[in-house]
Structure 1
Amino acid sequence: MTDGSEAVRRRVDAMFGEISRVLRVGGRYVCISLAQEHILAKVLDYFPSRGWMVRVHKLTDADEDKEQTSYFPVFVFVFTKFKKMANMTKVLEMCMYDDDKVTRVADEGEIVAAVHELQQYALVRQQLHTRSHVGEQMSLQLHAAASAQTPRYTLHVVDRPVAAGDAAFAIFIVPQGRATEWMFGSDAGRLQLAKQCGFRRVIVTTLHRDQHYEGLEAIKAELSAKVLELAPAGMPANTQVPFLSVGADIGRRTTVHQGHSELSGDFVVEDVETDAGLFRRLVFLSNQNVVQSEAKLVAVSKNNKKKRKSSGKLSIDTSYLSCQHHHYMVSGIAFVDAISADEKMEAVVVGLGGGALAMYLQQYCEVAVEAVELDPTILDVAVRFYGFTMSETLRVEVCDGLDYIRKLSKEGSKKHMVLLDVDSKDSSVGMSCPPASFVEREFLQTIYNVLHAKNGVLVLNLVCREEALRSLLIETVSAIFPLVYTARVPEEVNEIVYACRRDAATTQRPLPAALERVNAAATRNGAREKLTDVAELLDNLTLHGARAT
């Protein structure tokens, strides 16, 4: 079967017909193949539709051939002739993994997925043996032997330039639930990790939430043979390869709640143990590499005359902002400039999540907050699992943020701050935060109208990987607002935009002093940690626009 053309398919059908004619019921046809796509599609369409049993094996002996010139896996198809009966269930099996376990699968798609995975792995393996891949990180998934559809591990191959004293190769196991952290979840972070570990090639391995792991030693035993195949060329076969991790175990991840949102799909609330403590995270399963909301859990103390003891219960530490970009967004208060002593600062926060940003502004910065959330399910999650509590100075509107800002504009309402912290569901554009409709010129003008004329500020959380699109956005904002700053958030993809209605000439308070006042106010109101490193923020700050200068 050299290709999938009509003439070739007719010849193949004729051959299969003769094989079927000469075989008795229970007889077997064995085919050894590289399982190219057109061949795989043909045999999995022809034989199951005629009631034959199908079993597919990966030929492991071919992988062990030290003289081989190709890494493409070889498959053995065994087709057993059954007499087809009405309503007969297809019998599909595969034996693709090193434990020789035969697995019954539900449909042909599972076999196709398993074959494609092994072919992709072989291709990556061949490329890694051919040359170093400094500057580009290859990723692949390993599946559990019992299921071809469930990834068990994700492997990121990180190569870095050769440096004196570096060892050749190591495997780094990321503790459960920490794959989204910058060090493990970004190319730049993984490259820094490899540098800190002192290896030229590191396989950064993440563990999946729907899998059970006995412990670090069990993972080592499971992965040793497979990851050694990804070692750099020329490394001796008997080399002892180190397994690295953070601490002595694989961490802990506990599912607190699983749910479904009509707007965002399935989600999970989970508690994850890290070096810095225990954190509660909200993750949408459609985008598992992004933590939607995170909060720190602390032990609740019970009163005791002699000493305070832990009650064993946990609560949300509302004074802890886990996202660095939230620190920078709260610091936007400093751009509001001076307000009168009897004036209450008012803000609109579009995008609630777990409510951390809105609660911090209200509790520790004495800001009256109107939070806007499109998804009622997210509000329920914030209340049930993140300690979110509404009050006279912290209200929530469940509606579209675009509509709410327009409503405020029509009513003539004025706010000191509008904070946009909402992500986009459209992955086709290079901007994942905010949605494009929030930065259209007409809507930005509406926000401008809602803000106080003397000291109103728009604070925008921007995540944009396309530089041309980012530049256009900054240009659009600068055409409306007289004074525009941006601040890159360290070790995050986020950038915060501060757009002020006033211009530089009317500023009453130096920015460094204003930032320090925000820090002092948060501490005075009970925040456990300093809000912002003022010197760092100022160092990351950029001024935009001709009017700003």
Structure 2
Amino acid sequence: MDLLPKVSSDFSTSGYWETFFSKRLQAFEWYGNYLELCGLLHRYIKPKDDILVIGCGNSILSEQMYNAGFNKIMNIDISQTVIKQMRLKNKDKTEMDWKVMDVTNMDFENGQYSVVLDKGTLDAMMSDDAGEETTVEKMFDEIDRVLRTGGRYICFSLAQDHIVRKVVRYFSDHQYLVRIHKVSTVPNQESTGVQMPVFSFIFTKFVKLPSKIFEVCFEDSVKPTRIQSEDEIIELTKSQQYYAMLKNQLSSETTTNAPPIELFSSEDVVNVRYTMHVVDLKDYKPKHKFGIFIIPQGRECEWLYGSSEGRRQVAESARFMRLVFVALNREHTYGGMQAIQDELSTKVLELSPNNIPENYQVPFMTDGGNDIGERTVRHRCKSDLTGGFVIEDYKGANGVWYRQLVFEDHLTSVQSVVRLKMLDKKKKRRQRGAATDNMKLVPDGSYLASNYSQLMVSGLASIIQNPSDKFRILVIGLGGGTMSLFMLHCFKQCNITAVELDASVAAVAKQWFGLSNDTYESRINITVEDGIQYVEKLANLNKTSESSLLFDVIVLDADSKDTTSSIRCPPINFMNEEFLSNLKYIMKNKSGFFLNLLCRDSHAKTEVIKKLKNYFPQIYKASCEEDVNEVLMCFNTNDGCMKEKLKVWLAKAATWEKQLESNFQDFQITDLLKSFAVA
């Protein structure tokens, strides 16, 4: 299986791209010699073909092709000097001719040639985006005219964006099958700067095609891969160029911000097969120079593997100067560690640091021996609000199984995760939540994964006197419902009203994350509605009703779909005055408003807290251990020294831990409360 690299387009903003095309010292050194091109030439040209070489210059390619048996060659160039020199040099080659001629105005007959060969001429005519459009159109018209049906226009090019777009669009519009190869060229040791990949465009002329046909054939693939559009061709060629830039950078220096590299199989150019992150350790004494770490399936979103800080920690622990992390995609199947090693061994060597010995054996490793993990996709869904999302079960550390909800537009971050446990046979009849194929694993309500959720649950000790007390919580932004599941499991008298904007997500929480369990179902009410509208309606109702519905705690855990906003959680409209003022009508006298704040802009974060203080006189904040999230606890009373209140809560939390010892196995309430400080 051939692997096709793709690098994030973010890399195009670096200085390398500006110099990528400008540092050509001798144009033809980039296009390959006959030995490098002969595989493609012999594949698409036969000795009986009538061949026209346009813009031949002083290249020896025609001479070498003649010696290889391609005798019927006509060479043209606009330079009289070049034609005179080449005719004299090749006077013994009687069947090959040389003529001074303008490629935009040729005097050959219609359909005279079966092959038109172009080695850099198109690039020279369109050396920049402001190239002569009319002149190039005339050249294409002339090539189309002199080519017979079934003939091929073979164009070797460095494939700048504007060139690819122009040539592909023209010939696909004129009933040509479009195929692109990447030429395997030997690196020129005398050349400086980035060595660009060379591409060969094969345009085959038809009388009438039922639809446009685009194919790519990279990495010496034998079988072409069909793609959908000219935009895909541009994207794929661009990816090869970015990859060349990145390889050049990685071979000459260490990097701190290399973009992820995506590898596609030649059989599937839509779904990424491998995603690779390169980690270099500077100012560090490594034991090993270079290695590959295969991330177990399903665990690519864990902080240790899904963040740059986590990957660096692994590299330091393993003591590698350069460690390449490889994530596996749920859309593909893998044959095990050895099969992955066989598949990747050639490609990963391209990412090795400088001065690696030729006989260096690149070590492949993973977490826990040679086990690449297991993953089972349980459910897929798509909604108008959230887009596509996936529910999958995977085997984590120590063989423990987990279930996670992943949104397809944020594949590197998990929305919800729950641990799975063996189903109690006595409760099997009462459990309606989905489990794994053998119906033995179900969501474990005693597990809470995210640190910010743990902080919020620990904050309940600031409001609730005893964990066995009755209390009511409003959760705005149910998501997968793992925090609600945990609270229902641990606090037997807790009642939850959960508001979720997306009906599909709410259904997933019930079906796949344990909220349909009869044990909890009577204590949770899930409403599909906009959170702001729900609060407004309830506030208006409470203003006029004698029997008000009031909450002890309101949890706001909603994210913004606006990727341009510096505040990702909560959506900025939850900070408007109308919403915040409505909260007081649905909260008890001594109650709390807890929110998950995700904001990378310190000024915007300060403004959020400043606005909240207009409605909540006492606010505490705590930062999450591994993320940029912060949890804010906002209180509607101003009844004493805030620092002294923290001490009271800690004492209460210690009592809670004794009462809830069997439930709170993965975190300590007191430890988390200690992380809160006055905002």
TM-score, normalized by length of structure 1?
0.90
1:91 to 210, 213, 233: 213
Please give the alpha-carbon distance, in whole angstroms, between the structure 2 residues aligned to 1:515 and 1:15: 81
Structure 2 equivalent of residue 349 of structure 1: 475
State whether structure 2 residue 526 is matched by structure 1 residue 396. Answer: yes
- Give the CA deviation at 1:543: 1.1
- Give the CA deviation at 1:119: 1.0
Please give the alpha-carbon distance, in whole angstroms, between the structure 2 residues aligned to 1:256 and 1:346: 33
The sequence identity of aligned pairs, in percent, is 35
Distance 1:116 1:320, change over 3 A: same
1:467 to 584, 602, 620: 602
1:490 to 625, 633, 649: 625
Which amino acid in 2 is paired with 1:374?
L
- Kindly indicate whether the alpha-carbon contact (under 8 Å) linking 2:381 and 2:388 is maintained by their aligned counterparts in 1: yes
Secondary structure of 1:378's counterpart equals: helix
Which amino acid in 1 is paired with 2:328?
L
Distance 1:7 1:154, change over 3 A: closer
Please give the alpha-carbon distance, in whole angstroms, between the structure 1 residues aligned to 2:584 and 2:658: 29
- Kindly indicate whether the alpha-carbon contact (under 8 Å) linking 2:555 and 2:594 is maintained by their aligned counterparts in 1: yes
Please give the alpha-carbon distance, in whole angstroms, between the structure 2 residues aligned to 1:36 and 1:68: 20
- Kindly indicate whether the alpha-carbon contact (under 8 Å) linking 1:335 and 1:500 is maintained by their aligned counterparts in 2: no
Q: Where in structure 2 are the equivalents of 1:137-216 lying within 5 Å? A: 137-216=258-337
Structure 2 equivalent of residue 133 of structure 1: 255
Cα RMSD (Å): 2.4
State whether structure 2 residue 410 is matched by structure 1 residue 287. Answer: yes
Which amino acid in 1 is paired with 2:480?
G
Distance 1:155 1:66, change over 3 A: farther
Residues 490-524 of structure 1: CA deviation (Å, up to 9, x unaligned): 1233211111123351777712112223433433x
- Give the CA deviation at 1:96: 0.9
Secondary structure of 1:119's counterpart equals: helix
Please give the alpha-carbon distance, in whole angstroms, between the structure 1 residues aligned to 2:609 and 2:528: 29
State whether structure 2 residue 514 is matched by structure 1 residue 387. Answer: yes
State whether structure 2 residue 447 is matched by structure 1 residue 326. Answer: no
Distance 1:445 1:102, change over 3 A: same
Which amino acid in 1 is paired with 2:526?
V
State whether structure 2 residue 383 is matched by structure 1 residue 261. Answer: yes
Residues 89-136 of structure 1: CA deviation (Å, up to 9, x unaligned): 2232221124443223333233222111111111111222232223x3
Q: Where in structure 2 are the equivalents of 1:414-453 lying within 5 Å? A: 414-453=550-589
- Kindly indicate whether the alpha-carbon contact (under 8 Å) linking 2:654 and 2:669 is maintained by their aligned counterparts in 1: no
Residues 309-342 of structure 1: CA deviation (Å, up to 9, x unaligned): xx96111111111222211111121121648x99
Distance 1:356 1:140, change over 3 A: same
Distance 1:395 1:77, change over 3 A: same
- Kindly indicate whether the alpha-carbon contact (under 8 Å) linking 2:447 and 2:666 is maintained by their aligned counterparts in 1: no
1:511 to 634, 649, 673: 649
1:522 to 660, 668, 676: 660
Please give the alpha-carbon distance, in whole angstroms, between the structure 2 residues aligned to 1:122 and 1:485: 50
Please give the alpha-carbon distance, in whole angstroms, between the structure 1 residues aligned to 2:669 and 2:240: 48
Residues 191-220 of structure 1: CA deviation (Å, up to 9, x unaligned): 112111111221111111212211111111
Which amino acid in 2 is paired with 1:382?
A
TM-score, normalized by length of structure 2?
0.73
Distance 1:477 1:528, change over 3 A: closer
Distance 1:249 1:201, change over 3 A: same
Which amino acid in 1 is paired with 2:525?
R
Structure 2 equivalent of residue 296 of structure 1: 419
- Kindly indicate whether the alpha-carbon contact (under 8 Å) linking 1:333 and 1:518 is maintained by their aligned counterparts in 2: no
Secondary structure of 2:185's counterpart equals: helix
Aligned residues: 528
Secondary structure of 1:493's counterpart equals: coil
- Give the CA deviation at 1:431: 1.9
- Give the CA deviation at 1:5: 5.8
Please give the alpha-carbon distance, in whole angstroms, between the structure 1 residues aligned to 2:611 and 2:126: 56
Please give the alpha-carbon distance, in whole angstroms, between the structure 1 residues aligned to 2:584 and 2:451: 26
Which amino acid in 1 is paired with 2:160?
Q
- Kindly indicate whether the alpha-carbon contact (under 8 Å) linking 2:129 and 2:162 is maintained by their aligned counterparts in 1: no
Structure 2 equivalent of residue 372 of structure 1: 499
Structure 2 equivalent of residue 308 of structure 1: none
- Kindly indicate whether the alpha-carbon contact (under 8 Å) linking 1:110 and 1:149 is maintained by their aligned counterparts in 2: no
Structure 2 equivalent of residue 307 of structure 1: none
Please give the alpha-carbon distance, in whole angstroms, between the structure 2 residues aligned to 1:459 and 1:140: 39
Q: Where in structure 2 are the equivalents of 1:236-247 lying within 5 Å? A: 236-247=357-368
Which amino acid in 2 is paired with 1:174?
I
Please give the alpha-carbon distance, in whole angstroms, between the structure 2 residues aligned to 1:489 and 1:179: 20
Please give the alpha-carbon distance, in whole angstroms, between the structure 2 residues aligned to 1:518 and 1:354: 26
Please give the alpha-carbon distance, in whole angstroms, between the structure 1 residues aligned to 2:417 and 2:445: 11
- Give the CA deviation at 1:424: 1.3
Which amino acid in 2 is paired with 1:409?
A
Structure 1 equivalent of residue 84 of structure 2: none
Q: Rg: which structure is higher? A: 2
Residues 69-97 of structure 1: CA deviation (Å, up to 9, x unaligned): 333211111222222x2x63223222112
Q: Where in structure 2 are the equivalents of 1:31-70 lying within 5 Å? A: 31-62=155-186, 65=188, 68-69=191-192, 70=194
- Larger mean CA deviation between 177-186 and 386-395 belongs to 386-395
Please give the alpha-carbon distance, in whole angstroms, between the structure 2 residues aligned to 1:363 and 1:60: 61
Please give the alpha-carbon distance, in whole angstroms, between the structure 2 residues aligned to 1:61 and 1:5: 26
